[in-house]
Structure 1
Amino acid sequence: MSDELLEERARASAWFRELRDRIVAAFEALEESHSEGPFADAPAGRFEVTETKRASEDGADAGGGLMSVLRGGRVFEKVGVNVSTVYGTLGARAQAAMAARKGIPGMAEDPRFWASGISLVAHMQNPHAPAVHMNTRMFWTPHAWWFGGGSDLNPCIEYAEDTAHFHATQKAHLDPHGAEFYPRLKEWADEYFFVPHRGRARGVGGIFMDDHNTGDWEADFRLIQDIGSAFLPAYLPLVEKRRVMPFGETEKDAQLIHRGLYAEYNLVYDRGTKFGLETGHDANAVLMSLPPLAKWV
């Protein structure tokens, strides 16, 4: 393996960890600053951090990461921010899924892989404050490498101005890479985060991409960094505005029902959930995205 490749992987892994640290600090600051409105008298939430390990069939070191979860805070009912760097060999089911989706030749002969990324899901105390998902990642095999990820907003009570701000911020971060990126990644998110058996999207969209490899690693890395950097300025102003709003049983009921939709999508369709479980990553970390409470009618 070349020194250049080792350096690229190290830089990507370090970036995802840096982004994780920045988000955790920002979310804990939100908890501290929430001094009026619902839940203002509750203790400020703090992240509980647990090391995770990937289970390797032969017992060899297969990497791991950090699972950071905040539960029962003033602002967040449950939020998880996971970061990991895992490696080893893909099992038969994971090989088949990857080969079929990405069309990568030679995986049966050499199924080695390396993957690093950050994954975040936030479920809110106040139904007016939107839930959100974000992940970015780099994946490598001896046959190819690529970047993927994005973020999408999942409000149970929709506000047009919130949706507009979320999308405009992402567009502003993508436009320096080319005017074609935002509309393409927005359309991709609309398709990817659609729940077929419900005939609807799980939220109000965002941006998403996968299998991104232009052959210019530096350019592609800058793109994934800007996708990650867009998250906090796109999301924090929405939470700061909505966390103080009063709500009642009707709004809470709408939130719990919407969470059921979110859980259905993640358990039935989400590629990251399937890949994490099939490659032996910590199940609690993989399923961190599920809400603490949900409801079905």
Structure 2
Amino acid sequence: MTDPFDERKARAAAWFRQLRDDIVAAFEDLEDRHQSADAAGRFDVSQTKRHSEDGSDAGGGLMSVMRGGRVFEKVGVNVSTVHGTLGARAVAAMSARKDMEGLRDDPRFWASGISLVAHMNNPHVPAVHMNTRMFWTPHGWWFGGGSDLNPCIEYEEDTADFHAVLKAHCDKHGDDIYPRLKAWADEYFYVPHRGRARGVGGIFYDDLNTGDWEADFAFTQDVGRAFLPAFLGVVEKRREMAFDEADRDVQLIHRGLYAEYNLVYDRGTKFGLETGHDANAVLMSLPPLAKWV
């Protein structure tokens, strides 16, 4: 029997792949404009696979990682479309979500999305995270995502500019959306054991199912569209600023905070590892270097 959601799944997966292509091209263009002729930054692209328990095809995606550029010390842009049957621990976690109680009886799932994390060379340029995704089961579907800025050296005007772009894209869908998603991000990206946020926030949402798939997909697309204009302006402003070893030390310590959050609290990291996705792709978000005091 044909799944009536097949066409929607295909549209969502194609959108996430197109967004990935646009971001990869923009980041390579940024490197081209700021590199010496013999050191152009380029992404290394590899296929990823989800490992199902019975060895059957369970989907996969592309992992695109650039290391050692002039602008980006390490940046990963991953896209995937996976499917299969959720394991017991994943079912227990997912069953707490709205409209997902039936997973205990029928744990089939399909998920597609893009995930990006960039760690920058210059400590004055903030690290950044962005993702958007769609999750489907026979019992319901939802969208999620967001983006947040993670500077080790904070500039109030950069925070304001980043948030202004996010707000403008959210406001197309309702004046109440940005304040609510900003507050959600402030709560979600908080590091309890350090008593502080991991950065200066952004927007975050999960479990988005208003009953209008087209409207929810349109909003998710606008979250993705907001990323490049929100981030690239900050990069251009700070990328040539001088820095010293003290600035680099601050950056590496802040990266330790980022790593702690992603390994201890991040839902995406936990879900990817629980469902058998490529571990290297799941842990792509970790910085190339970090330190702890």
TM-score over 0.5 for the pair = yes
- Which residue of 2 is the match for residue 295 of structure 1? 291
The C-alpha deviation readout for 1:78-108, integer Å capped at 9, x for no partner, is 0000000000000001101111344622212
- Which residue of 1 is the match for residue 162 of structure 2? 166
Partner of 2:96, secondary structure, is helix
Of 36, 51, 65 in structure 1, the residue corresponding to residue 47 of structure 2 is 51
Partner of 1:156, secondary structure, is coil
- Which residue of 1 is the match for residue 79 of structure 2? 83
Amino acid at match of 2:224: G
Identity of counterpart residues, as a percentage?
Answer: 78
Is the CA contact (8 Å cut-off) linking 2:132 and 2:220 kept in structure 1? yes
For 1:101 and 1:197, how far apart are their aligned partners in 2?
25
For 1:187 and 1:72, how far apart are their aligned partners in 2?
35
Q: 1:25 and 1:85, CA in 2 relative to 1: closer, same or farther beyond 3 A?
A: same
Partner of 1:20, secondary structure, is helix
Is the CA contact (8 Å cut-off) linking 1:42 and 1:74 kept in structure 2? no
User: Is 1:202 the equivalent of 2:198?
Assistant: yes
- Which residue of 2 is the match for residue 229 of structure 1? 225
Of 193, 210, 215 in structure 2, the residue corresponding to residue 214 of structure 1 is 210
User: Is 1:267 the equivalent of 2:267?
Assistant: no
Is the CA contact (8 Å cut-off) linking 2:77 and 2:116 kept in structure 1? yes
Amino acid at match of 2:121: Q
Aligned residues: 293
1:4 is displaced (CA, Å) by 4.0
Partner of 1:177, secondary structure, is coil
Matches within 5 A, 1:1-297: 2=2, 4-34=4-34, 43-102=39-98, 104-297=100-293
For 1:278 and 1:22, how far apart are their aligned partners in 2?
29
The C-alpha deviation readout for 1:113-160, integer Å capped at 9, x for no partner, is 000000000000000000000000000010010000000000000001
Is the CA contact (8 Å cut-off) linking 1:130 and 1:157 kept in structure 2? yes
Instruction: Tell me the TM-score normalized by structure 1.
Output: 0.97
For 1:102 and 1:86, how far apart are their aligned partners in 2?
21
The RMSD of aligned alpha carbons is: 1.2
Amino acid at match of 1:142: P
For 1:150 and 1:8, how far apart are their aligned partners in 2?
21
Q: Which moved more, 1:26-35 or 1:114-123?
A: 26-35
For 2:149 and 2:110, how far apart are their aligned partners in 1?
29
For 2:4 and 2:175, how far apart are their aligned partners in 1?
30
For 1:246 and 1:62, how far apart are their aligned partners in 2?
47
Amino acid at match of 1:123: H
Is the CA contact (8 Å cut-off) linking 1:67 and 1:285 kept in structure 2? yes
The C-alpha deviation readout for 1:9-43, integer Å capped at 9, x for no partner, is 000000000000000000001101115xxxx6871
Any unmatched runs of 5+ in structure 1? none
Instruction: Tell me the TM-score normalized by structure 2.
Output: 0.98
Partner of 2:104, secondary structure, is coil
